[in-house]
Chain A
């Protein structure tokens, strides 16, 4: 029953973590607050990806599909129909879950595994990108600018620039996502999901329906990813086909889990912290370098090159991710 205790401990850690993180905006502002918000956002996306790619063992290379559906649903709801972004967020989550179930059903039905499944998810995301780029009904390649709306800012999810409220919203969303994942994984269904990952044939022989529980993980993962997409639109006020469905979005979503530790509860959050700080740090370095590195000022490409080198180094030296390696070293199960 070690697994049960582990997830109970996770609930305590979650509660303590949220309490510690609530006062953070008192100490951070401007650029650092932005970094904190993006850390939480990519933590949320990483947690969502990890449910499917880590716990359920279905490596997705196309989570941009779900992210983009959430983002576009929100943009369309707010811009074209004047609805609240919260409505768009729920719609997007439902749509993404449905799309995930469709993609998952088709893929699992035909027995796609490993590399083939990853390529299938990639292909579906790319198709959504190409469709949204040609479809005039969603502004084709121009994308959406979110209009500034009056009214209760908590309903329109629009706060003045630099407002700590964005931080509280994404912190709450991340905490709820973690709560959902922890509760799922300590439930009977969670045990089934893990058993299917470890040995699908054995699980099926014992009466577990692999299709049902794999699809459950995919649907929840897709819905949570869409929530992240909806927040992204409201935070950056802009979305277009590349930012929503591009292959680099899929990568950004899976990186926190990989860097932090795939299939661990806290790995994606730890990974997001590392990735976001390093990514934003190198961007800031190029924008305003210290005097002795002045030659780097405005050299485009340097920040992403550093990012690429970082990925290579993590894979070479921390193949189980930061959190996974730490846990192994400390010997805690």
Chain B
């Protein structure tokens, strides 16, 4: 059931919308509408920022939901893998003068292999154990990775310069100079690139899952491992590849956000938490749900922050999370039972 596209249930969307609206009305009363009229620019800016960031959330979450869909493991090390990929890119940029976007060619394969190894050496041994043991294993792994990074790179925040800030991006027919103007809002070039890059990679993952024989085998394992084994699919191998692919997704997302985010060993944690929310919102194991959910959560975070300043933006994300869990735990699009 995991990767079938489902129709969005109108009732669930309506419920979610009502919940958010009720909350906003409670917090803000009737002033909200006039405020929105007066602050059109703030609102459009929040929409643009939320959309761009949401694309990155989508990519991170697609990796997480793929791992859950195929292996039934809730991966707490997802964010730590992201940080690892970011440091790999950072080293290449700072020490070898790589273009940060070119470092994708290193960080993504590197983390794919690491994911395959982690699945083969560690997680394969606990596949038949209760959920909490798998969860703890990935959590221990996250502590190990993050603190190994802390030992090597210390907690000093690292930054990578966006290489095309001065020159603009030559596209052949024109040179794109940032930041872009979207209905009066500012869209920074690195964020636009991260958004577009995430969508392209998400499209690639989608193509792989839907149109190749490898993808069909992975989906078969997600659907019914015993049946898949019976028709000759190597289930263990598919587990390794699925975990590797999930890790590769989060690695790509990490490298793509590097030019506009400061990097610390714990940078991935927040993405990990948000990916949990997105994955539940979209339906556990549902890749399309993760794509849409990521963008929704990006918008919720930025719009909530614009409407109610002074409260941590993540708070609104958790409000949506709790509402989803209570009203529609199978997610907006349905997922694994």
Contacts and interface: CB of A to CB of B under 8 A. Distances in A.
Given A115-B74, A119-B276, A127 B143 contact: no
Interface string B296-332: 0000000000000011101100110110011101000
A124 B326 CA distance: 12
Given A107-B326, A305-B144, A119 B280 contact: yes
B262 interface: no
Contact of B143 (A124, A258, A262, A311): A311
Contacts of B280: 116, 119
B151 A130 contact: no
A123 B325 contact: yes
A311 B322 contact: no
Contacts of B273: 126, 247
B155 A305 contact: no
A55 interface: no
Contacts of A134: 310-312, 315
Interface string A109-137: 01110111011101110110011011000
Nearest to B80: A308
Interface stretch (B121-129, B183-191, B219-227): B121-129
A112 B329 contact: yes
B104 interface: no
A307 B144 CA distance: 8
B315 A110 contact: no
B140 interface: yes
A259 to B, nearest CB: 9
A126 B155 contact: no
A301 interface: yes
A131 B126 contact: no
A310 B136 CA distance: 11
Contacts of A301: 146-151, 265
Interface residues of B, number: 46
Contacts of A107: 325-326
Nearest to B134: A315
Contacts of A310: 140
B315 A131 contact: yes
Q: Does more than half of chain B's interface fall in helix, strand or loop, or is it mixed?
A: helix
A316 B123 CA distance: 9
B237 interface: no
B132 interface: yes
A1 interface: no
B137 interface: yes
Nearest to A124: B322
Interface string A71-83: 0000000000000
A155 interface: no
A267 to B, nearest CB: 14
Interface string A303-325: 01101111110011001000000
Interface string A169-212: 00000000000000000000000000000000000000000000
B40 interface: no
Of the listed residues B125, B133, B146, B273, the one surrounded by the most CB atoms of chain A closer than 10 A to its CB is B133
B322 A127 contact: yes
A241 to B, nearest CB: 10
A107 B314 CA distance: 21
A126 B273 CA distance: 10
Of the listed residues A130, A255, A258, the one surrounded by the most CB atoms of chain B closer than 10 A to its CB is A130
Contact of A312 (B137, B155, B310, B318): B137
A302 B140 CA distance: 13
B9 interface: no
A305 B151 contact: yes
Interface string A44-81: 00000000010000010100000000000000000000
Given A116-B280, A123-B325, A311-B140, A319 B126 contact: yes
Nearest to B322: A123
A126 B154 CA distance: 26
A304 B150 CA distance: 10
B2 interface: no
A299 interface: yes
B157 to A, nearest CB: 15
A106 B326 contact: yes
A309 B140 contact: yes
A308 B149 CA distance: 13
Nearest to A258: B136
Contacts of A315: 126, 129, 133-134, 136-137, 140
B139 interface: yes
Nearest 8 CB-CB pairs, A to B? A308-B143, A311-B140, A301-B150, A308-B144, A305-B147, A301-B147, A312-B140, A301-B151
27 contacts: A110-B325, A110-B326, A110-B327, A115-B131, A116-B280, A118-B135, A119-B325, A123-B318, A124-B322, A126-B314, A127-B315, A127-B318, A130-B312, A134-B310, A134-B312, A262-B132, A301-B148, A302-B147, A304-B150, A305-B144, A308-B147, A309-B140, A311-B140, A315-B129, A315-B140, A316-B125, A316-B126
